Amino acid sequence: MTREKLWIGLIVLFLAGILTGIVGTMLYCRYEQEHRWEHGPGARQDRVIKKLAHELSLTSLQRDAVKPIVVRAHLELLTLRVRHQPEVEQILTDGMRNMKSTLSPEQQGKLDALYAQLQRRWSMSRDFLREAEGERK
């Protein structure tokens, strides 16, 4: 019977380790997803380059050749987004105004906080674009 208890204990320990790993990974991924924007738009370029290097098994020469292409494409996308930002903000403002009539005061405050967070992200992107354009000139 002691041998059975030992095996059951080992199996339980193994399953607890698996469960801990799964929960830890989920929490880490959720945290990274929620806070990814805090690293700024420049970090997005780095993530894209790292992913391409990994997925395509790029050599260091290829990575050096790909980096300016990714940077240029990223800046062009940011430029496009900033150009259309007033339209996006108008649509969101209208939607939020319509949404607030169905929300409690507490929910309205949370919605305002979410929108302020989104505006900070947009501001970071605009600032990054201005700096990048200043460096290119």
pLDDT in tens, 71-112: 889 888 888 888 888 898 899 889 988 988 898 999 989 999
**Radius of gyration of the chain measured on its C-alpha atoms:** 23
Say which residues have a Cβ less than 8 Å from residue 44's Cβ, sequence separation at least 6: 74
Say what the pTM is: 0.57
**For residues 6 and 47, what is the distance between their CA atoms, to the nearest angstrom?**
46
Model confidence at 39, pLDDT cuts 50, 70, 90, reads low
Model confidence at 33, pLDDT cuts 50, 70, 90, reads confident
